[in-house]
Amino acid sequence: MIRIHVVQPGDTLWRISRRYGVPIESLIQLNRPPYPNRLTPGQALIVQTPPPVTPPPPPPQRYVVQPGDTLWAISRRFGVNIDAMVRLNHLTNPNLIYPGQVLLIPSPVPPATPVPPETPPYPARVNAYLVIQGESDRATLQGTNAALTFVSMFTYSFQIDGTLVNAYDRPALETARAMTLQPILTLANYNLTANMFDSELAHAALTEPEAQDRLVSQLLDQLARKQYSGLNVDFEYVRPEDREPYNAFMRRLDQLVHSRGLLLTSALAPKVSAIQVGTLYEAHDYPVHGQVDDYVVLMTYEWGWVGGPPMAIAPLDQVRRVLDYAVTAIPRQKILMGVPIYARDWQIPWQEGTLAEDLTVQEAVRRAIDQGAQIQFDPVAQSPFYRYTTRSGQQHEVWLEDARSLAAKFETVREYGLGGVSFWTLPADFPQVWPLTADRFIVQGQERNATASPEPKA
């Protein structure tokens, strides 16, 4: 069982290890703290506690029978069961004992110490997007300790005429198969030159028949040749007027992908209603994707985005608003709730046009320790944050994720009865993610191989 310890003033790894009865080496292995000899108040650590051990009963007492004794009277005197005395002493006639006879008196069974019931792990499918980087992808995937069902390779893009732009995914594919993970090809309208999602690319693929035919043909070829388990469509900032063409595109993929025994998934913006306006939202039709997809990834993050004011990246109160709508439009077991595994640092007071600095979670914790900052926890957002001031006098505010915020999100998946979670993004310098995922979830779907038929759609 994994417990979460929030560092208090004066805590050291040695003191924490003594408190929970675990080796310091276990704490270091699970958390890989940036500074093992320096902690900061508010830092969250996970602790793998051993299961409770029932101590053996004490040895039986020896009693010499006195004149006038009966077995019944002796059992009452010591508060033990008479049948237990008969068995322990191998008495053939319980009514026949004699003075001077030595009897063994069983130790009374102590009352059981009540143990609070543990919530059993929740069966869930776990996806993570892997930003393809080549040979280093092997170590990245191995570092997840197989606490995944799917790994979605980000990304395959395409040109305006529909020509697919391949990615160097061989190391990741080989590693995924060796770990029995299901590799998913991600197709995105991502302009690799501009390093951004491109509405024009999506428009061409959705509305130009020749471009779409070329894209679909090359896509199906890649899925077959590389033995992917399925396809993830991540079209973002699609023009509102392209909503129906996008729906038609997904229905076409539904027929073609499923006829080949592969999974179809898509990534959708975090909407709170069917009529939510904005380029990010309007073309994402929850009911249609919920109908044709095997799983839908809800991108429930980026409230605290790089170009906006400082706030939690995935505040749980806002995530719940999205889920409240999503479960009315998409079957619950098809929903994979998005979970960010990164951090951001904003200069404050924030000014329009300034950009936050992206950090890994470990970098954010290290910075808190270096700056002497105490990590706080927002009870509404269920997210940690801290503030610090540089030597030049510049103030900063950092929002990150930690074991507490992850546990709260995982419990939300259970509460809503969802299909699982989807992490954005690998590689992630956040060692607590994988042991906590394995502790809170029974990770589903690893028994499938790369060419297995998909499960029936709900």
CA-nearest of 371, 206, 143 to 359 is 371
Catalytic residue (choose from 135, 236, 302, 455): 236
How is residue 163 written in tokens? 């020509």
CA angle (288, 294, 298) in 5-degree steps: 70
DSSP E strands in 255-317: the ranges are 263-268, 295-298
How is residue 366 written in tokens? 């290290």
CA angle (352, 427, 265) in 5-degree steps: 85
Is-contact 433 441, C-beta < 8 A?
Answer: no
CA torsion 302-132-223-262 (nearest 10°) is: -50
CA–CA separation, 384 vs 401, rounded Å? 6
CA–CA separation, 450 vs 164, rounded Å? 22
Q: Which amino acid is at 25?
A: E
DSSP E strands in 295-419: the ranges are 295-298, 335-340, 343-348, 357-359, 376-378, 383-389, 395-399
Is-contact 162 209, C-beta < 8 A?
Answer: no
Is-contact 168 147, C-beta < 8 A?
Answer: no
H helix intervals, 260-307: 286-292
First to last CA, the chain: 33
Asked if 174 is an active-site residue, the reply is no
Active site members: 236
